[in-house]
Amino acid sequence: MTHPTLPLCWVVSVFFLGACATTADHAGSSFDAAPGYSGAYPRPLSDSQPANEEEARARVHTELGQEYFSIGRMDVALDAARTALKIKSGYPPAYHLMGLIYMELRQNDQADGAFRRALSDAPGDPEFNNSYGWFLCTQKRVSEAMSRFATSAANPYYLHKTRPFTNAGLCLLENNEVERAGVQFSKALEADSSNSEALYRLAEVGYRRGNYRNAHDLLIQYHRHFDPNARSVWLGLRAARRLGERHAEASYTEQLRSRFPGSSESVLMMQGRYE
């Protein structure tokens, strides 16, 4: 299995910098890994306003770089991050952006260094820890990744805890720790019931554990709230087939043929490769 393709929103957020507020608690992560950060938690840098004009200018260039990153213009995005660092030396969001760019370019040493540089000045930032956790997962450094995700989710100021929970689940699923992955996807849904990725993955966990009824029911719920896609229809077809639900199997088969005829899932179906 290759590393899962992660929707950009799970890893990337807007980049801002400002003063940090603190709290004494490390509660709320629900991970079996301990957070890698032991200090008082700050507010996410993205929630704060620039402390001065220099930071405001650096933020503008970093935001511009993020926009170019999101459309695949890595060269321009990297130039924007470097410009931000010229304006504000050591600016953590610019290093975070550089980490994302280098990770996308598979320049792993540079990515690791950039993420670490961002975290050296903002070790408790939940967005930085979430992104670095995903990078560590792609490098098969799973225990380190879990610690970073735990740090991200434990931050009481972080409003997007569904992201590190989802990423942790994807990382564990990629490494065949299916039961642990299911726990994290459940937590992701508790944090945000509209998290379609977590709901689909929870159905996948059910299927991989042989609980085909659970997978089938979760996919009904998924298709009630979200548009079907090739992978969700394919998983639904396979679950229905396992359960002997012939009507549901026929319905999924027709959907895959008519709506997603060129998909890899449709090819697998035509070849009879259900497993």
Point out the least confidently predicted range of 42-51, 122-131, 238-247.
42-51
Q: Is residue 247 part of a domain?
A: no
- Which residue bears the tokens 């975070």? 96
Q: What is the pLDDT of residues 226-245, one digit of tens each?
A: 999 999 999 999 999 999 99
Using CB atoms within 10 A of its CB, is residue 202 exposed (0-12), middle (13-18) or buried (19+)? buried
Q: What is the pLDDT of residues 132-190, one digit of tens each?
A: 999 999 999 999 999 999 999 999 999 999 999 999 999 999 999 999 999 999 999 99
Residue 33's pLDDT band (boundaries 50, 70, 90)? confident
pLDDT for the residue 23: 31
pLDDT above 80 for 28 = no
Using CB atoms within 10 A of its CB, is residue 206 exposed (0-12), middle (13-18) or buried (19+)? buried
pLDDT for the residue 13: 44
pLDDT above 90 for 74 = yes
Q: Is residue 101 part of a domain?
A: yes
Q: Is residue 264 part of a domain?
A: no
- Which residue bears the tokens 């490098």? 139
Q: Is residue 253 part of a domain?
A: no
pLDDT for the residue 1: 37
The total number of structural domains in the chain stands at 1
- What whole-number distance in Å separates Cα of residue 2 and Cα of residue 24? 39
3-state DSSP of 75-140: HHHHHHHHHHHHHCCCCHHHHHHHHHHHHHCCCHHHHHHHHHHHHHHCCCCHHHHHHHHHHHHHCC
Residue 50's pLDDT band (boundaries 50, 70, 90)? confident
Angle in degrees, 0-180, between the axes of helices 246-259 and 230-243, rounded to the nearest 10: 160
Q: Is residue 36 part of a domain?
A: yes
Q: What is the pTM of this model?
A: 0.87
> Which two structure tokens, joined as six digits, stand for 240?
């229905």
Q: Is residue 14 part of a domain?
A: yes
CB 74 within 8 A of CB 188: no
When pLDDT is averaged across residues 241-268 and rounded to a whole number, the result is 97
Q: What is the CATH classification number for the domain harbouring 93? A: 1.25.40.10
Q: 23 forms bridges with which residues in the sheet?
A: 41
CB atoms near residue 79 (< 10 Å): 15
- What whole-number distance in Å separates Cα of residue 97 and Cα of residue 86? 15
- What whole-number distance in Å separates Cα of residue 239 and Cα of residue 232? 11
Q: How far is CA 79 from CA 75, 95, 218, 274, in A?
A: 6, 12, 44, 46
Q: Is residue 161 part of a domain?
A: yes
When pLDDT is averaged across residues 215-220 and rounded to a whole number, the result is 98
Q: Is residue 149 part of a domain?
A: yes
- What whole-number distance in Å separates Cα of residue 11 and Cα of residue 95? 15
pLDDT above 60 for 21 = no
Domain hosting residue 92, numbered range? 8-180
**191: CB partners within 8 A, 6+ apart:** 161, 162, 165
CB 178 within 8 A of CB 14: no
